[in-house]
Amino acid sequence: MPFFKELRRRKTGLKLEKSQDSSTDSNSNGSNGTVPPSKSSSTLNSVYGSSTTTPPSSIQPHQSTPNLAKSKSVTTMTSLPQRPMPLSGVSNRSSYIGLSAPSINGTITPKVPTSAFAPRIVSVSDNSWVHQKVLLVYGQIGEPSEKMLDGTLTVSHHQDNFPATVWPVSDSHFKALVHLTPGPNRLRFDFSSPKVASNNSSLPAHSTCMSINFLPLINSPPLQLVILLGKDSPGVFDAVPERKQREGNDLDTAIRKFRMAAYLWQAFTGEQMFRHSFGRRCFRFEEEWQTGSLTFRDKEMGQMRNEAKVHVIRSDKTVKELRDLDIAQQGDNATRKGELYTIAMEAVKAHFKPVQGQKQYISLLLLDSHWDTKAKTITGHAALGGGSGEVQLAIFGSQALQSYPTSIEEVVPAFSDCTRTNTGFVANDCNESGSNWEAANVGIGAHLHETGHLFGCPHQESGIMLRDYVRFNRTFLCREPYSTRTKSHGLRLCLPKDECGWHRLDALRFKNHPCFRLPTDAPLNPDESLQIWPADNGKVIITAPTGIAFVEIFTNGDDICHAWIEYCNGDAQSGGPPRQIVLTESDLKARLPEDTKAKKLRIKVHSVGQGSQEVEDFALLVKSKNSTVKLPNGQSGFKGCKLGESRQEGSQPEQVILETAHIQTKLLTSIKLYHGFALDGMEFCYEDSTSQLFGNRGGSPGGSEFNFDTRRGEILLGFYLRAGLWIDGIEILTSLGRRSGVYGNPTGGSGHTLIPPRGYSIAGVSGSCGQWVDGFSLIITR
């Protein structure tokens, strides 16, 4: 018995020791035994770059979840991140003299002495998110005000997936184009100069490491790139003999040059939008898996990359027909002006086959443009941009294509090449292309100007949309060469203030353009329209379902806008851009120079949804008797802006003041719509069996009737119209949120929502009618 008692004591002691050891291990660093969940979570954080101590859990034991076993073996299930986290760490400007240089792909950088000559990136901050493959970077070395240095900057790319590129440093300033891959990109910028001591080793002496995250905007419509050829074209472009021998002038070279020019447009535009405080938003390209061309080494090595696709389309016209046509459309007496644009439009429609509601944005290069040395003119060339319907198109000739860079490494040499233009082989376009670098400016920049037109930009008072593209090179260089255009030496130092740019009004248009939308942008109401309502006391009320973006102000005779009002800075927390604003003549004139305030005012209002509405004479709108209506009860009614052109033969003005607007005992019970392929008329029916007719009772016999739920207090709220030259269709909107569906042609014209502004109600309808309704507006009252 004593033996068994002693054995029982020993077993109990062992259990106690094991329990104490287990308790001690659970509070230790996990070196003995299994690491508890809280510790393993910190390990996960070190792997995925999170700064938190506990990763998110999909299932965790809790007192309210009795079905989970409460035992020591419960393991927390962690959910892994949905995408790689941005590379951590602050931008490091370091000197590695005498120390081991860290890998540019590492996430941990050792603490090293800071170098005074490490590159300082000014244009973009560490861990920024961008949306373009080629990013423009601007920065400085040391303090330029104290000591100016020349040298070179070497950019090493993430995981060496793109060859290192070398950029000049001029007076301690540098600009570089950085190639990015989707996701996090760890980059290193190394400065070297014969005037600055180095460590005489292979390690960089003065370096900066930073991370940039590239998120492609694949949910935005792309800008398509197209080269158009005649049906019998050999596929070559104008070039001097030495260029032909050195790099060729065939179709493959044309594609690579056009692609590089397009990436320069993108880098330029993304930087400009950032400077306008609209984020790093930019248009994207349709891309395809192909042999890379953004670095010349890709062609040598056969390296495949995802890069912008250039569509090659052959016209049904011969080269001679295209060139002869262009001669016919030049000059003031041209009889076929614009036909080259029409031919290009037909070719791209046949190639892309756009469907209704699917807009295509296309920038096209006419490869068969040719400098006629005898006629001293460029044939087969047109510079136009715009479009309508489903296709927005810009076209430009290839007369300066030989001067374009073919890869990122050639950008600086191309914009520094002072070789004089040999007009025995190539054109000096507009006498602004006297040297190769100036020809590159005009070719790339003027084509971007036309691309601005396809995005909806008119001519502006400055910037790309004025011809400021003759300074396009300054965006990519810090030192400008001699200019034959100005017959003077270029700038010794090209700072951001010296560069060309997109005008503020261009940036305002781009901010809300479908091609420039960011993932963080709120979804838009599909109705892009806006309405302008004259009101009492000289006010004009403007409403838009998507919000008002900006108002352009013109004085009599102005073709270019010099004054405007912005409403685009509202964020999601403040409700975004306003959906209703009030303007007065004094508000508008306060933004004009003193000597123009007496002139007639014209305004153009733009909605966030890309709709626009113009008022030719602001004073006439608010003061004209045609804008006001006297109601039978003495109240004033106000006519909104009319939809439809009222141009049908025999069209007569019509107006109906609803009896419910001035007789309180009247009750509107239904509306009868008469329609076929357009709206013929509408009849307002009351509870006492009376009615009022606007238009006529044409279309389908008997029409269609929409009844209001009067027992629930449902009333007429407004209308949704499809309108162009006339009123194609109409839909009734009610106070209970019901919609009748469109009566008439639901796809004709464009959509417009007519709902009175806050504080006003519908008093009647006004417009005109011929064979069918060809003019329509609401009459509102307080």
C-alpha to C-alpha distance for 285 and 362, rounded to whole angstroms:
10
Assign residue 177 a region (left: φ > 0; alpha: ψ between -120 and 50; beta: otherwise): beta
Q: Report how far residue 144's alpha carbon sits from residue 161's, in angstroms, rounded to the nearest whole number.
A: 32
Going by C-alpha positions, the residue among 364, 249, 386, 372 that lies closest to residue 312 is 364
DSSP 582-639: EEEHHHHHTTS-GGGTTSPEEEEEEETTS-EEEES-HHHHHH-GGGEEE-TTS-EEEE
Task: Let me know if 69 is exposed, middle or buried by CB neighbors in 10 A (0-12, 13-18, 19+).
Answer: exposed
Q: Which two tokens stand for residue 333?
A: 């007496």
CA distances from 157 to 166, 195, 278, 370, 615 (A): 12, 26, 27, 40, 53
Strands 750-754 and 716-723: antiparallel
CA–CA distance, 654 with 192 (Å, rounded to integer): 79
CB 468 within 8 A of CB 462: yes
Give the residue among 156, 153, 157, 160 at the shortest CA–CA distance from 139. Answer: 153
Residue type for position 132: Q
286 assigned to active site: no
Residues 430-448 as b/e (b if ≥16 CB within 10 A, e otherwise) read eebbbbbbbbbbbbbbbbb
**Residues pairing with 720 in the sheet:** 731, 753
Neighbours of 331 (CB within 10 A): 10
Reference 460, options 365, 564, 366; nearest CA is: 564
- How would you classify the pairing of strands 727-734 and 716-723? antiparallel
Q: What is the dihedral of CA 100, 102, 108, 109, to 10 degrees?
A: 70
Report residue 17 as tokens.
Answer: 């020791």
Q: Which residues of 667-696 are buried (b: 16+ CB within 10 A; e: fewer)?
A: ebbbbbbbbeebbbbbbbbbeeeeebebbb
Secondary structure of residue 515 in the 3-state scheme: helix
Q: Within 180-337, where are the H helices?
A: 241-246, 251-275, 296-301, 319-328
| AA identity, residue 457 | C
In sequence order, what are the beta bridge partners of 180?
none
List all residues 6 or more positions away from 455 whose beta carbon is below 8 Å from its beta carbon. 283, 361, 392, 509, 510, 513, 515
C-beta separation of 553 from 634 below 8 A: no
- Regarding beta strands 173-179 and 183-192, do their DSSP bridges make them parallel or antiparallel, or are they unpaired? unpaired
Of the residues 450, 480, 528, 683, which is catalytic? 450
Q: Which residues are catalytic?
A: 450
